[in-house]
Amino acid sequence: MSAPVGEESRLALVRRARRINRELALTYPDAHCELDFTSPFELLIATVLSAQTTDVRVNMVTPTLFAKYPSPADLAAADRADVEAIIQSTGFFRAKTQSIIGLSQAIVERFGGEVPGRMKDLVTLPGVGRKTANVVLGNAFGVPGITVDTHFGRLARRFGWTTHTDADKVEADVAALIPRREWTILSHRLIWHGRRCCHARRPACGACPLARLCPSYGEGPTDPVVAATLLKGPA
């Protein structure tokens, strides 16, 4: 069945989505996870801490945290007040402390002190949902995963890839458009583009390399000079 006049066919949507991914690959050839880590455990903890704050802020506190508590067993036995003091600047520090100590205890008790490498196991840990699990799987275990954070969801809707706001539904819609092998790096590319160009309030449409491919072009300033002033570096 063909699409109604004026609407994009499924094939056209898939082709446009993959062209956007290719264009983002050219724009951000160095796109990567901006959380600093040296192990699956460090990435898991850093990702939990990154909620409602910036990767830059998390990277400021994790060296101290991991120097003092380098393993799940160490953090599982940590003094709660000490951990709260270390991570306080990331915000929501009491809840985050409870999560990272609790998930460390669960890793020790149920997984032999090693971060599990399967989605079904990761999401049983305190404070770990699909988004966090996909970050860990994709970047520490090489298992493709789509990370639907606030940037990814916003851009996926602007691109017309999904109409949903529920992260699991966004993940499923995008997974149907992009080859599995690309899921992790696609996540980095969209997050980088969201942080640098496609902002929530004033997207830099006039300076965007995706202008001709984006159905939301014009939500932000289209004048190239004005748009260029909205571009940002890493955040």
Is 121 among the catalytic positions? no
Catalytic residue among 55, 120, 121, 131: 131
- Cα dihedral 145, 148, 153, 156 in deg (nearest 10): 0
From first to last of the 235 residues of the chain, give the pLDDT tens digit.
Answer: 444 445 899 999 999 999 999 999 999 999 999 999 999 999 999 999 999 999 999 999 999 999 999 999 999 999 999 999 999 999 999 999 999 999 999 999 999 999 999 999 999 999 999 999 999 999 999 999 999 999 999 999 999 999 999 999 999 999 999 999 999 999 999 999 999 999 999 999 999 999 999 999 999 999 999 999 999 986 5
Catalytic residue among 149, 168, 169, 223: 149
pLDDT digits (tens, 9 = 90+) for 131-143: 999 999 999 999 9
H-assigned helices in 69-207? 72-76, 80-87, 93-111, 119-122, 130-140, 150-158, 167-175, 183-196
Q: How many CB atoms lie within 10 A of CB 121?
A: 16
CB 145 within 8 A of CB 168: no
Domains by residue range for the chain, with CATH? 10-30+146-228 (1.10.1670.10), 40-140 (1.10.340.30)
Report CA Rg, the chain.
19
Is 79 among the catalytic positions? no
